[in-house]
Structure 1
Amino acid sequence: MSLVALVSILVVSLQLNWVNGAPKVPCFFIFGDSLSDSGNNNNLITTAKCNFPPYGIDFPNGPTGRFTNGRTTVDLIGDHLGLPHYIKPFASIPEDEIMDGVNYASGSSGILDETGFQVGDRVCMNKQVNNHREVVSKIKNKLGSKNAGIHLNKCLYSIYVGSNDWMFNYFMRPTVMATHMIPGVYADELIKELTGQINTIISLGARKIILFGLSPLGCLPILNLVQTCSGFINGVLKDYNHKLKSLVYNYNSKHPGVKLVFINSMDIISANNLENLVRVGLKNTNQPCCGVAAECIPFSPPCSDRKARAYWDQEHPTEAANKILASRAYKAKMSTDTYPMDISALAAHH
């Protein structure tokens, strides 16, 4: 090959990389509940499923099992990372795509195995971690242990879980609340279980982990409050989030080579902070776009002002709200948005 031809190929290659942008990370693994689910509940026996209209009305592929009108927060973070496609659910991912990452998240699931039993089947965090172990084994078979380890060390891992442990268990089950009269005792139980799950994920090669704090669940429309939010519920969750942030600090200080990042979802998406939400276009912060029950009635017509609403159904945010969280999680606008760095810095961290 002539020098001129070689230079031409290099120039074209550089131009393509500049136009398309190389992904910031080679792979993205996702753990959590309905806020991240991309279809793992579709074939389960559960009332927590949404693979029908009007869900997905603004998603390129229509209804997929995402509990919103369009993209989830992790989908949007994938866009920021320059990933070539959205990460597919464990339940239906082709084996030739697992190298890019897998979405294990399951609607109604939680940190505790029992969480969400009221609605039927779900994939709890411990099962999600076991599913990841199965995927890692397949990746090792493809690449060999050493190369698989190198690959997995470069991936991002998202953990966005705990909402159902509080809403389904603590606040909706009197026996649980009676057993844990002090919310801090229950919070410590969740943190202990979650720590074990994170330890296993790390043992399977994770080195860059995103840990989302809980959003202001005291503002959910399903609570049907006269006022916009429950200060009591959000106060309990803020204390829990503080423990999550401490968990991140402890990991980063005691585990060299492992980096965790805490996302302050509570303050980024808070209906208490109406001025900030209105400023970015979310003028309706407490009325869902569809659904008189917890979730949208199949094939019911949704609202037309979806870009101006914070909530899609009674329990889940719109894509518009997800965009705010994803954007500030990826590139923090305030020092309180993330700790100790944002996702863009974590992706670049070596």
Structure 2
Amino acid sequence: MDSNLKLSKLMAISVLLVLLRLRSWANAKPEVPCFFIFGDSFSDNGNNNDLKTLAKVDYPPYGNDFPLGPTGRFTNGRNLQDFIVELLGFKNYIPSFSEVKETGKNILRGVNYASGSAGILDETGKYNVGARIPLTQQIIQNHKIIIQDITKGMQNDLPAAKKLLNKCIYSIQVGSNDYINNYFIPKFYDTSRRYSLSAFTDLLIQQLSNQIKVLYDNSARKFAVYGLPPIGCTPNAISLYGTTNGSPCVDKLNQAAVIFNEKLTPLIYQLNNNLTHAKFTYLNPSGSPIDPAEIVKNGTCCKTGGGAGELCIRNSKPCSNPKKHIFWDGVHLTEDQMQVMANNAYSCSSPVCANPFNLHKLAML
């Protein structure tokens, strides 16, 4: 049987399981007490709004299908982590770190630290995009502030705070920008002159491993770590680089994602073996087969030219039916495609989507 057909059947089963579970969640408690989110624009829900950066989307048509309108989410409605939050059974979305600082919202259910254009490396995005919150800052600075606040809120009962933090899920979705906003733009960064693609990826994996271990040292025990999607198949990538050898996508970018994922998977197994009482799983956001030709055919839902050229133009009129499009803007998926990714991460039974287990099983461990 064709591999795409097999995967399509698995996806259909996954969606059915998700729908069945949703019916029983009306009054249920979430599967984990708290959910902490680290990453880039696929997960960002407003942390970039007050930054001096090209990577912010606090304006229409972003949020066109979201009840609160433009919030800083890089899509027309809910983003990847919003759907994950729903699937895990939370009644409310996880607040952004910037919102928590301003409003003092309840942090016991978790915090979203993700930042558009952020990378594993601190320099990623700095010289071509502007301000952003790198993964190191998300973990070492911002998350530690929240841990301190949680501990204070629990009457400085450190054992109780650690017990709570042990039960949370820590989602890490990052890495694309280290290629598209660093390695492959030599005008701003010299990494492609200093490293081969494989050596650069080794650097990313080592740095990511170090950052994960900081979370572990701060009581994190359940980790969901995302691989990279085919970053050479975005409308923006195709526009910037052109297609390769008859392929509808940019092969060098996709090859970078493949190398990253191939090196990330062994890291997950290594961490599972070496870090006591910790559970790690690798989630593949590109687990759903998308015909690259459809990307070229359908284009983006909104008219692009904002940000560094890949974002929606401020106040522009989007397409009438985002469901017919894979991409909302030049880089980010529509809400419907975000939901497909989330369903795969949560309930897929194939190692193509989740390895060694899906997000639901991670929550149950």
The normalised TM-score by structure 2 is 0.85
Whether the aligned pair in 1 keeps the contact of 2:286 and 2:341 (CA below 8 Å) is: no
Matching of residue 46 in structure 1 with residue 56 in structure 2: no
Q: Distance in 2 between matches of 1:57 and 1:244?
A: 35
Spell out, residue by residue over 1:236-256, the C-alpha distance to the aligned partner (whole angstroms, 9 max, x if none): 211111111111010111123
Q: Distance in 1 between matches of 2:80 and 2:147?
A: 24
Query: Hey, what does 2:148 align to over in structure 1?
Result: 137
Give 1:121's aligned amino acid: A
Matching of residue 323 in structure 1 with residue 346 in structure 2: no
**2:235 aligned to which of 221, 234, 257:** 221
Q: Distance in 1 between matches of 2:287 and 2:259?
A: 13
Give 1:27's aligned amino acid: C
Q: Distance in 2 between matches of 1:199 and 1:27?
A: 19
Whether the aligned pair in 1 keeps the contact of 2:233 and 2:249 (CA below 8 Å) is: yes
Matching of residue 77 in structure 1 with residue 92 in structure 2: no
Q: Distance in 2 between matches of 1:72 and 1:26?
A: 21
Q: Pairwise mapping of residues 51-62 of structure 1 onto structure 2 (< 5 A)?
A: 51-62=58-69
Query: Hey, what does 2:114 align to over in structure 1?
Result: 105
Spell out, residue by residue over 1:269-319, the C-alpha distance to the aligned partner (whole angstroms, 9 max, x if none): 6444x7xxxxxxx88775111133210011100011201211000011111
**1:95 aligned to which of 90, 93, 104:** 104
Matching of residue 119 in structure 1 with residue 126 in structure 2: no
Matching of residue 345 in structure 1 with residue 364 in structure 2: no
Q: Distance in 1 between matches of 2:214 and 2:71?
A: 29
* Number of aligned positions between the proteins: 325
Whether the aligned pair in 2 keeps the contact of 1:27 and 1:101 (CA below 8 Å) is: yes
Whether the aligned pair in 1 keeps the contact of 2:33 and 2:167 (CA below 8 Å) is: yes
Spell out, residue by residue over 1:195-239, the C-alpha distance to the aligned partner (whole angstroms, 9 max, x if none): 111011111111111100011100010122355312232122111
- After TM superposition, what 4+ stretches of structure 1 lie above 6 angstroms from structure 2? 282-285
**1:254 aligned to which of 236, 253, 274:** 274
Q: Secondary structure of 1:265's match?
A: coil
Residues 97 and 284 (structure 1), Cα distance of their counterparts in 2 relative to 1, 3 Å cut: farther
Whether the aligned pair in 2 keeps the contact of 1:215 and 1:269 (CA below 8 Å) is: no
Q: Distance in 1 between matches of 2:94 and 2:296?
A: 30
Query: Hey, what does 1:13 align to over in structure 2?
Result: none
Deviation at 1:99, TM superposition (A): 0.5
Q: Distance in 2 between matches of 1:296 and 1:96?
A: 30
Whether the aligned pair in 1 keeps the contact of 2:107 and 2:150 (CA below 8 Å) is: yes
Query: Hey, what does 1:242 align to over in structure 2?
Result: 262
Whether the aligned pair in 2 keeps the contact of 1:98 and 1:139 (CA below 8 Å) is: yes
Whether the aligned pair in 2 keeps the contact of 1:90 and 1:102 (CA below 8 Å) is: yes
Residues 269 and 156 (structure 1), Cα distance of their counterparts in 2 relative to 1, 3 Å cut: farther
Residues 186 and 18 (structure 1), Cα distance of their counterparts in 2 relative to 1, 3 Å cut: closer
> Is 194-203 or 285-294 further displaced after alignment?
285-294
Q: Distance in 1 between matches of 2:290 and 2:208?
A: 24
Runs of 5+ in structure 1 lacking a partner?
Answer: 1-16, 275-281
Larger RCO, structures 1/2 (Cα 8 Å, 6+ apart)? 2
**2:312 aligned to which of 296, 305, 308:** 296
Residues 106 and 18 (structure 1), Cα distance of their counterparts in 2 relative to 1, 3 Å cut: closer
Give 1:219's aligned amino acid: C
Query: Between Structure 1 and Structure 2, whose CA radius of gyration is higher?
Result: 1
Give 2:351's aligned amino acid: S
Deviation at 1:95, TM superposition (A): 3.0
The normalised TM-score by structure 1 is 0.89
Spell out, residue by residue over 1:115-168, the C-alpha distance to the aligned partner (whole angstroms, 9 max, x if none): 111111111111101100110011111221011011111111110011110101
Spell out, residue by residue over 1:31-51, the C-alpha distance to the aligned partner (whole angstroms, 9 max, x if none): 011110000010111111101
Among all aligned residue pairs of Structure 1 and Structure 2, give the percentage whose two residues are the same amino acid.
41
Q: Distance in 2 between matches of 1:307 and 1:255?
A: 42
Deviation at 1:266, TM superposition (A): 3.3
Q: Secondary structure of 1:159's match?
A: strand
Residues 190 and 154 (structure 1), Cα distance of their counterparts in 2 relative to 1, 3 Å cut: same
Give 1:148's aligned amino acid: A
